[in-house]
């Protein structure tokens, strides 16, 4: 029989009838509020990072393949055409899990172990980006509205599953090998600024290196909104044959390839595999995370905010539990003296209060999880908390509950708090049994 555990249960039952009830209530509330805050904060931060990342990857793919000279910036690729007649295209999307040998092509460290990716390559598609100026014609006259616009040419291999969810009006662009579409899909920001809608004409002008204007007429067939204002203000989707003709390229020339993968955890591994083991020397493969490092660095900062919140909440729980434990020990001074007189050692008595504290922590954690997960469900279901989309790229506070993280938070909070309670439990050793028995 575990005597300290048995006594802890009885002390807990008796505590509901004494002054310690208030202390226990405060301790449970502190742990519950801390856990609810941590669960909600983790769900919000993970949701925020996931939503923004999905939007970026949905627009650009995960990995870019361009000419080596165009590796620095995405928009430089229109100056360096490459052929789409490559050994890896379009068969690259049949690549499954990859085992990367240590120190193979710069993918591992010398003496390290081989690693296997969680997934493979999902899709590969061609693209061309071309900057220029857009203007509007209505009722036979040009309106005094001009916008800088970047055409993103897409081919028949374009994956609409990722980008199609952002199409809020109109229909997808029909791109076929045998014809050239005159349609254009613009963002809601561009549509509002240029005062155009579905069916309206938009003229695009590209100025080449000789300063010669090359115009094209388009008809608005769709309007999209990703919420990423930086991209929504600049980009429009058109048939890839349109920017190719404006640039005077051959039929097989493109600006590059976009690659999407099955599992985001494999991004750097597959990016390195493509660059070192798949591409020829004149092509360059790099993850979008590195090409748009500023935005992803901003997202990574959210991890520091999350760590700060977790630290503060755990400290709050620890301080309240230490205070509660000290008061509970002082309240049970007479019992401690009696147990010592009966031959119980200090560690056994301390165990009683540590078990008691563990009961309090578990109740607080259960209550905190219930509150935190309930708030997450309410936000995800009813979207009560709105955001300024221009500042946060999202109109609603996103929720993404990662169950492994929730379990880790519970275990970590329980263990860390319990470890810190070992210190105040040393008060038991300072209690003299003779004086304690007479203590009233």
The answer on 220 and 300 residing in a single domain is no
pLDDT at residue number 100? 82
**Spacing of C-alpha 258 from chain mean position:** 21
Q: What distance in Å separates the CA atoms of residue 130 and residue 2, rounded to the nearest whole number? A: 75
The answer on 300 and 250 residing in a single domain is no
pLDDT at residue number 14? 62
Q: Which residue has the tokens 């609603």?
A: 396
pLDDT at residue number 19? 63
pLDDT at residue number 139? 66
Is the residue at 367 inside a domain?
Answer: yes
Q: Which two tokens stand for residue 114?
A: 């081989």
Q: Which of 237, 258, 279 is the last residue of a domain?
A: 258
The answer on 432 and 301 residing in a single domain is yes
The answer on 244 and 137 residing in a single domain is yes
Q: What distance in Å separates the CA atoms of residue 158 and residue 284, rounded to the nearest whole number? A: 21
Is the residue at 111 inside a domain?
Answer: no
Q: Which residue has the tokens 């996931």?
A: 50
Q: Which helix (H) or strand (E) holds 268?
A: helix 267-273
Parent domain of 235: 124-258
The answer on 245 and 321 residing in a single domain is no
Is the residue at 29 inside a domain?
Answer: yes
Is the residue at 399 inside a domain?
Answer: yes
The answer on 251 and 155 residing in a single domain is yes
Phi and psi at residue 28, in whole multiples of 5°?
A: -60, -45
Q: Which of 228, 258, 288 is the last residue of a domain?
A: 258
Phi and psi at residue 61, in whole multiples of 5°?
A: 80, -175
The answer on 145 and 29 residing in a single domain is no
pLDDT at residue number 15? 56
pLDDT at residue number 318? 94
pLDDT at residue number 436? 64
SS3 149: strand
The answer on 300 and 180 residing in a single domain is no
Is the residue at 59 inside a domain?
Answer: no
The answer on 21 and 152 residing in a single domain is no
Cα dist. 109→100, 114, 279, 412 in Å?
11, 10, 21, 32
Q: Which of 212, 241, 258 is the last residue of a domain?
A: 258
Q: Which helix (H) or strand (E) holds 137?
A: strand 121-138
The answer on 142 and 28 residing in a single domain is no
Q: What distance in Å separates the CA atoms of residue 322 and residue 342, rounded to the nearest whole number? A: 27
The answer on 234 and 308 residing in a single domain is no
In the predicted model, residues of the chain with pLDDT beneath 70 are 1, 11-19, 71-72, 102-112, 138-144, 434-440
Which pTM value belongs to this model?
A: 0.83
Phi and psi at residue 355, in whole multiples of 5°?
A: -60, -45
The pLDDT tens digits for 198-255 are: 999 999 999 887 778 899 999 999 999 998 888 899 999 999 999 999 999 999 999 9
Number of independent structural domains in the chain:
2
Is residue 45 within 8 A of residue 381, CB to CB? The reply is: no
pLDDT at residue number 142? 59
In the chain, the largest separation of any two C-alpha atoms, in whole Å, equals 104
Is the residue at 267 inside a domain?
Answer: no
Is the residue at 11 inside a domain?
Answer: yes
Query: Can you name the residues that pair with 386 across neighbouring β-strands?
Result: 396
Residue 232: CATH number of its domain: 2.40.70
The answer on 130 and 34 residing in a single domain is no
Instruction: Give the other-Cβ count within 10 Å of 378's Cβ.
Output: 13
pLDDT at residue number 38? 96
Is the residue at 79 inside a domain?
Answer: no
């Amino acid at each position: 029989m575990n005597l300290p555990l048995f006594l802890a249960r009885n002390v807990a039952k008796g505590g509901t009838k004494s002054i310690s009830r208030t202390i226990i209530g405060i301790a449970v509330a502190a742990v519950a509020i801390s856990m609810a805050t941590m669960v909600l904060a983790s769900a919000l931060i993970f949701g925020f990072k996931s939503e923004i990342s999905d939007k970026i990857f949905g627009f650009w793919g995960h990995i870019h393949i361009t000419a080596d000279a165009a590796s620095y910036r995405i928009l430089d690729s229109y100056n360096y055409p490459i052929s789409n007649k490559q050994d890896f295209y379009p068969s690259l999307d049949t690549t499954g899990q990859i085992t990367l040998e240590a120190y193979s092509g710069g993918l591992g460290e010398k003496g390290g172990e081989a690693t296997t990716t969680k997934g493979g390559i999902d899709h590969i598609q061609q693209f061309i980006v071309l900057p220029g100026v857009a203007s509007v014609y209505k009722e036979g006259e040009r309106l005094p509205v001009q916008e800088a616009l970047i055409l993103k040419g897409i081919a028949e291999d374009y994956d609409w599953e990722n980008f199609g969810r952002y199409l809020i009006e109109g229909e997808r662009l029909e791109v076929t090998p045998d014809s050239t579409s005159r349609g254009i899909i613009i963002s809601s920001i561009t549509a509002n600024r240029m005062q155009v809608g579905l069916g309206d004409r938009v003229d695009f002008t590209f100025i080449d290196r000789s300063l010669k204007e090359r115009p094209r007429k388009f008809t608005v067939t769709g309007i999209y909104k990703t919420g990423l204002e930086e991209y929504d203000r600049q980009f429009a989707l058109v048939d890839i044959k349109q920017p190719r003709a404006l640039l005077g390229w051959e039929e097989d020339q493109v600006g590059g390839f976009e690659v999407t993968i099955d599992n985001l955890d494999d991004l750097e591994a597959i990016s390195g595999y493509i660059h070192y083991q798949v591409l020829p020397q004149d092509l360059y493969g790099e993850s979008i995370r590195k090409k748009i490092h500023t935005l992803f660095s901003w997202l990574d900062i959210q991890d520091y905010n999350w760590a700060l919140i977790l630290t503060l909440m755990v400290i709050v729980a620890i301080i309240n539990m230490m205070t509660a434990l000290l008061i509970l020990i002082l309240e049970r001074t007479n019992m401690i003296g009696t147990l010592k007189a009966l031959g119980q050692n200090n560690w056994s008595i301390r165990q009683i209060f540590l078990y008691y504290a563990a009961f309090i922590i578990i109740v607080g954690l259960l209550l905190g999880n219930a509150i935190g997960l309930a708030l997450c469900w309410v936000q995800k279901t009813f979207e009560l908390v709105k955001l300024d989309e221009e500042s946060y790229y999202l109109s609603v506070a996103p929720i993404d509950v990662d169950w492994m993280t929730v379990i880790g938070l519970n275990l970590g909070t329980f263990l860390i708090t319990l470890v810190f309670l070992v210190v105040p439990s040393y008060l038991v050793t300072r209690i003299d049994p003779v004086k304690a028995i007479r203590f009233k």
